[in-house]
Structure 1
Amino acid sequence: MRCLSADEMEDYILETPSPQKQQKALHIDFCPRCLTLYRKRLEEQEILSRQLFEETLPDSFTAKVMAMLALEDREAGKEAGATPETSQVQVGGSAAILTEQEPNCDESDSLGENRRAAEGTAGPLSKGASFWKLALGAVSLLLIAGAAILYAVPTLADTIRSLFTRENADVGLLRMQEFGLVEHPNIMVKDKGYTVKIDEAAADPTRVIVALQLFGPGGKHDRDRLVLTDGNGIFIKDDRGEVVGRMYDMGRTNDFYYLVAFFPEPLQADRITIEGHLVRLGDKMRNIPSIQGDWSFSFAVDMKEAKKQTVVTSLAGSYTTPDGMTVRLKRLTRMVQGVRLEMDTELSEEALARSPGELWKQQGLSFHFEDMQGEEIHSVNTRKSPSKDSLMTQSGIPGDKTGLMHWSYTFKYLPQDSPYKFIFDGYFVSERDDASVQFEPLHLKERPVPFRFDGDELMLRDFTVKSPPDTNSKETEGALHFDGRLRNEDRFSEWILKTPDGRTYTVSKRGASTTEASSWKEGHILMGGPMQGGLYQFRAAGLTQIPDRLQLIRTVVDRRYTNVDWVIPIKEESKGPGKSDK
Structure 2
Amino acid sequence: MSENCLTHEQIEELIVNRQLGSVMDHIEKCTRCQHLLEACMEEQSDMHQALYPDKLDDSFTDLIMAAIEADKNRYDGNKEEEEPNLVHMATPVPTRKKRSRKKWIAAVIFLFLIISNVFTQPTVANWMRSMLGMTADVGLTQAEKLGIHRFVNVTVRDKGITLEVKELAVDTSRLVIVLRVVGPYGVDLNNFFRTDTIDVLDDNGKSIVDPNATGRIENRKDKWWWDEYLVIDMGLKETHAGDHITIRGNVDHFDFERWDWRVNGNWSFEIGMDMRSAREQMKMIPLEGEYVAPDGTRIKPTRMIHHASAFQIEFRTQLPPNAAPPNEQLVWNKYHEVGFYLQEQSGRKIASNDYYRDKSSSKPAAFPLRTSCDIEESKKIVTCTYTFGQLTELPEQAELVIDNYHYPIYTNDTISFEVKDLQSTPAVFTARGDEIRIGGVNGIRDSFVSKAEGIKPSLWLKASGRYSNETSGDQWTARDEHGHEYTGYLLGSYGESEDAYRKYSGEMVIGGLNHIPKKLTITRTATDMRYQNINWSMKLPNLSRKL
Q: TM-score, normalised by structure 1?
A: 0.67
Q: Which SS does the other structure have where 2:339 is aligned? A: strand
Of 219, 240, 258, the residue aligned with 2:204 is 240
Offset at 1:195? Answer: 1.5
Does structure 1 residue 355 correspond to structure 2 residue 317? no
Q: Distance in 1 between matches of 2:74 and 2:404?
A: 87
Q: Distance in 2 between matches of 1:297 and 1:390?
A: 32
Q: Distance in 2 between matches of 1:332 and 1:382?
A: 18
Q: Distance in 2 between matches of 1:278 and 1:393?
A: 25
Higher RCO, Cα 8 Å, sep 6+:
1
Q: Distance in 2 between matches of 1:165 and 1:339?
A: 19
Offset at 1:452? Answer: 1.2
| 8 Å CA contact 1:515, 1:524 repeated in 2 | yes
Of 518, 525, 535, the residue aligned with 1:548 is 518
Offset at 1:162? Answer: 4.3
Does structure 1 residue 408 correspond to structure 2 residue 378? no
Offset at 1:400? Answer: 11
Q: Distance in 2 between matches of 1:416 and 1:126?
A: 61
1:116-127 correspondence to structure 2 within 5 Å: 116=80
User: Structure 1 residues 444, 265: closer, same or farther in 2, change over 3 A?
Assistant: farther
Q: Distance in 1 between matches of 2:72 and 2:312?
A: 73
Q: Aligned residue for 2:478?
A: 497
1:146-545 correspondence to structure 2 within 5 Å: 162-166=130-134, 168-219=135-186, 221-224=188-191, 226-228=192-194, 233-245=197-209, 248=214, 250=216, 252=218, 254-265=227-238, 269-285=242-258, 287=259, 289-347=261-319, 351-352=320-321, 354-355=322-323, 362-380=335-353, 381-386=355-360, 388=364, 390-398=367-375, 402-413=379-390, 416-468=394-446, 473-516=454-497, 523-528=500-505, 536-545=506-515
Q: Distance in 2 between matches of 1:265 and 1:571?
A: 22
User: Structure 1 residues 157, 545: closer, same or farther in 2, change over 3 A?
Assistant: farther
Offset at 1:574? Answer: 5.4
Q: Distance in 1 between matches of 2:99 and 2:540?
A: 70
User: Structure 1 residues 550, 128: closer, same or farther in 2, change over 3 A?
Assistant: closer
| 8 Å CA contact 1:367, 1:382 repeated in 2 | yes
Q: Aligned residue for 1:62?
A: none
Matching residue's letter, 2:386: Y
Matching residue's letter, 1:355: A
Q: Distance in 2 between matches of 1:128 and 1:255?
A: 37
Offset at 1:369? Answer: 1.7
Offset at 1:93? Answer: 12
Matching residue's letter, 1:510: L
Offset at 1:475? Answer: 1.0
Q: Which SS does the other structure have where 1:373 is aligned? A: coil
User: Structure 1 residues 401, 466: closer, same or farther in 2, change over 3 A?
Assistant: closer
| 8 Å CA contact 2:356, 2:404 repeated in 1 | no
User: Structure 1 residues 295, 404: closer, same or farther in 2, change over 3 A?
Assistant: closer
Matching residue's letter, 1:277: N
User: Structure 1 residues 332, 115: closer, same or farther in 2, change over 3 A?
Assistant: same
Q: Distance in 2 between matches of 1:222 and 1:288?
A: 15
Map Cα deviations across residues 154-179 of structure 1 (whole Å, 9 max, x no partner): 9x99978843243x341221232321
User: Structure 1 residues 161, 510: closer, same or farther in 2, change over 3 A?
Assistant: farther
Q: Which SS does the other structure have where 2:456 is aligned? A: coil
Q: Aligned residue for 1:568?
A: 538
Q: Distance in 1 between matches of 2:537 and 2:428?
A: 38
- What's the C-alpha RMSD, in Å, of the aligned pairs? 4.7
| 8 Å CA contact 2:429, 2:437 repeated in 1 | yes
| 8 Å CA contact 1:282, 1:291 repeated in 2 | yes
Q: Distance in 1 between matches of 2:71 and 2:163?
A: 52
Matching residue's letter, 1:242: K
Q: Distance in 1 between matches of 2:169 and 2:127?
A: 16
Q: Distance in 2 between matches of 1:266 and 1:334?
A: 15
Q: Distance in 1 between matches of 2:148 and 2:69?
A: 58
Q: Distance in 2 between matches of 1:550 and 1:496?
A: 10
Q: TM-score, normalised by structure 2?
A: 0.71
Map Cα deviations across residues 393-431 of structure 1 (whole Å, 9 max, x no partner): 434445698354444322223663331211111322321
| 8 Å CA contact 1:206, 1:267 repeated in 2 | no
Q: Which SS does the other structure have where 1:177 is aligned? A: helix
Matching residue's letter, 2:194: L
Map Cα deviations across residues 91-134 of structure 1 (whole Å, 9 max, x no partner): 369899xxxxxxx99998875444545669xxx999969x9698
Matching residue's letter, 1:557: T
| 8 Å CA contact 1:316, 1:330 repeated in 2 | yes
Offset at 1:297? Answer: 1.0
Q: Aligned residue for 1:15?
A: none
Q: Distance in 2 between matches of 1:477 and 1:450?
A: 21
Map Cα deviations across residues 343-388 of structure 1 (whole Å, 9 max, x no partner): 33335xxx42x337889x9533222222222222222312333565
Q: Which SS does the other structure have where 2:152 is aligned? A: coil
User: Structure 1 residues 88, 507: closer, same or farther in 2, change over 3 A?
Assistant: closer
| 8 Å CA contact 2:204, 2:241 repeated in 1 | no
Q: Distance in 2 between matches of 1:257 and 1:133?
A: 40
- Structure 2, gaps ≥5 residues long: 1-6, 12-24, 41-67, 219-225
Q: Distance in 2 between matches of 1:447 and 1:204?
A: 60
Matching residue's letter, 2:299: V
| 8 Å CA contact 1:227, 1:283 repeated in 2 | no
Matching residue's letter, 1:297: F
User: Structure 1 residues 525, 497: closer, same or farther in 2, change over 3 A?
Assistant: same
Q: Which SS does the other structure have where 1:467 is aligned? A: strand
Name the % identity. 22
User: Structure 1 residues 545, 420: closer, same or farther in 2, change over 3 A?
Assistant: same
User: Structure 1 residues 88, 483: closer, same or farther in 2, change over 3 A?
Assistant: closer
| 8 Å CA contact 1:435, 1:555 repeated in 2 | yes
| 8 Å CA contact 1:264, 1:395 repeated in 2 | no
Matching residue's letter, 2:181: L
Q: Aligned residue for 2:61?
A: none
1:16-31 correspondence to structure 2 within 5 Å: none
- Structure 1, gaps ≥5 residues long: 1-52, 58-64, 70-86, 97-103, 529-535, 578-582
| 8 Å CA contact 1:321, 1:564 repeated in 2 | no
| 8 Å CA contact 1:465, 1:476 repeated in 2 | no
Q: Distance in 2 between matches of 1:212 and 1:238?
A: 22
